[in-house]
Structure 1
């Protein structure tokens, strides 16, 4: 059943981004052309934004209780990142569509003109994109179940809490801490709040899942495109058994030059859209991981430890996928010009060697994805964030 559903998401017109585009349209990150539906989606996005504001209003009201603040900050940080992602893509639709159109058209071109070697590269990054997409969807679903079920399991696993709830000394266990204009600790307000929180959690997890998987797939495509350019540059002068004419060599080099410029232009556009969001995420990630580790160390029950471990796994996995994929693109961009040196350049004439040198100079330009103006998204950044989170944790423990 699940296999049939996933197969139904495949689009012959978008063989790489098919499932990702479907999810982004379904959740409203890609707005429809219908004016009424567009207004409805924007209203829902801003309703989620309002909910995040109420979370911070509630945290401010309990600011004197450090344990309660730390417990709720771990989710509130993710909430603000979530609404930042959704609002950023909603209000920059035209620029995002430029990137998505380029990825779709460029991928289709490579598939239509593939040979055996290029076909292997295409199959490799396509399978990688599907694995990452479905893994992350599954991870977000598990995280969603963990978040919405944590109050219930807290109630069931703690005898003291149940006694306190019956005698009125403990409040009703909610999914989030947030401001509500009704009494959220007594019926019917408590159940209205539960439905409201569950709805916001479901939509927020869907937003993050759709956004993050699409971004990772786009970054993976950039890496695959660099591999394809490298493979084609090896054959720019033909092979020893199949020499090509000067006009064909000139055309091949011009095409590689043009495609790399277009790739560089689109990767920079993509980075300009993603970089501010990743800066916010990197800035908050250390504090968020610190809060989760702090709660994990102070948890008293196996259920609490399990839920916090799942939450910690999600935070680390999300950050790692961005940093690893970006690091992979950077390495491939640094190795791109080696494809020219693996061609039969020694049999080329002076004019052809000059063209090869100019193309090699173009290929030396690096593709780097950044988190704001301060750091690049690399594995080194990932390790630095983990070290920072541990430093904050040791400071908080003292």
Structure 2
């Protein structure tokens, strides 16, 4: 049974995961070259924007023009680095899901896994559609607005004079492709992390199925104890391996929401206004996925004690009751994902992020007045 198939296809497109069928040495070398090209694309675009802010920007209007895109590209570079660094760890996590005790065996367990797989694929597809529509809108409006006037799609510092038509076209295409690749990287990393969170929810649902079967099949007890330990270890590994990128995402999301709120109040409704609104929707969708499914993992892990009580546990023997009591005691401390060891990934954090961004926006408005 495959796991996160669509997500790994997106990872392959953005140069972070070689196709499984490419086993020959030459194909692996070709894919490594492709990965290097992707890394160069997004890093050169990010550096050109960052250097423009450092060297050329001297007023708030110029700073505001591309700041949110610069932040998005910085996060894209961080996500690329995190994905490439954690290739072996990602393979290890997927391997855990594909083997016992996490691998579903019976029909009802397979149905649960398939239900979550469909939900993961649907979420990834909807999120990808939103992000790529935003990216396509930004590129299309730039073609009609900037390209005809021989201006780049985004402000940038370049180490050459791009006034000649050929160099201008190269720089313009470079920006457009880099923006698209950066957006695909966001989709790949976000869908991978959220997909792993949803698989933890799937494992908890399968674990509940095992609990209900203990009454008639006592041999399931040992599998339940082992599976409960595996779920906790798996969640800890996911949180540990992706804590850096989750932290970066939280910080940047807060900055972007605050900054874009300020920008929207200063603009008339035009193409730029719509572009920033779409970008805001992407950013809020992005961080809400992290918080929503982090919250789902916490709630489902907390409900395990209640699930044990719902069983006919009074009819079980002493050893079974003792093992169930150990599981209940462990479930009193829920599985919780954190950002920077401090901020929990739940709905309260999402609301707190919005409130903090709005408070910062009010402070900016007061300083301006």
Q: CA deviation at 1:276?
A: 0.9
Residue 45 of structure 1 contacts residue 86 of structure 1 at CA under 8 Å; is this kept in 2?
A: no
Residue 229 of structure 1 contacts residue 336 of structure 1 at CA under 8 Å; is this kept in 2?
A: no
- Greater shift in the superposed pair: 128-137 or 38-47: 38-47
2:96 maps to 102
Q: CA deviation at 1:98?
A: 0.7
SS in 2 for 1:299: coil
2:258 maps to 290
Going from structure 1 to structure 2, the CA distance change for 1:338 and 1:91 (only over 3 Å counts) comes to: same
Aligned equivalents of 1:55 and 1:324: distance in 2?
Answer: 32
Q: CA deviation at 1:225?
A: 1.1
Aligned equivalents of 2:307 and 2:114: distance in 1?
Answer: 20
1:197 maps to 175
Going from structure 1 to structure 2, the CA distance change for 1:175 and 1:263 (only over 3 Å counts) comes to: same
Q: Does 1:373 align with 2:351?
A: no
Q: Does 1:114 align with 2:101?
A: no
Residue 51 of structure 2 contacts residue 157 of structure 2 at CA under 8 Å; is this kept in 1?
A: yes
2:119 maps to 128
Aligned equivalents of 2:171 and 2:75: distance in 1?
Answer: 22
- Of residues 29, 32, 39, the one that matches 1:36 is 29
TM-score between the two structures when normalised by the length of structure 2: 0.90
Q: CA deviation at 1:121?
A: 3.1
Q: Does 1:74 align with 2:68?
A: yes
- Of residues 113, 117, 134, the one that matches 1:143 is 134
Can you give the 5+ residue segments of structure 2 that lack an aligned partner in the other structure? none
1:92 maps to 86
- Greater shift in the superposed pair: 51-60 or 361-370: 361-370
Aligned equivalents of 1:83 and 1:107: distance in 2?
Answer: 36
Q: CA deviation at 1:386?
A: 1.0
Summarize deviations over 1:108-134 as a string: whole Å, max 9, x none. Answer: 831x3123xx45533432231121011
Summarize deviations over 1:272-301 as a string: whole Å, max 9, x none. Answer: 111111111111211111222222222224
Give the alignment of 1:9-20 within 5 angstroms. 13-14=1-2, 16-20=3-7
Residue 225 of structure 2 contacts residue 323 of structure 2 at CA under 8 Å; is this kept in 1?
A: no
- Of residues 197, 219, 222, the one that matches 1:219 is 197
**Which consecutive segments of 4 or more residues in structure 1 shift more than 6 A?**
none
Can you give the 5+ residue segments of structure 1 that lack an aligned partner in the other structure? 1-12, 157-161, 166-171, 239-243
SS in 2 for 1:266: helix
Summarize deviations over 1:101-158 as a string: whole Å, max 9, x none. Answer: 2234469831x3123xx455334322311210110110121011122123235459xx
Root-mean-square deviation (CA, aligned residues, Å) is 2.2
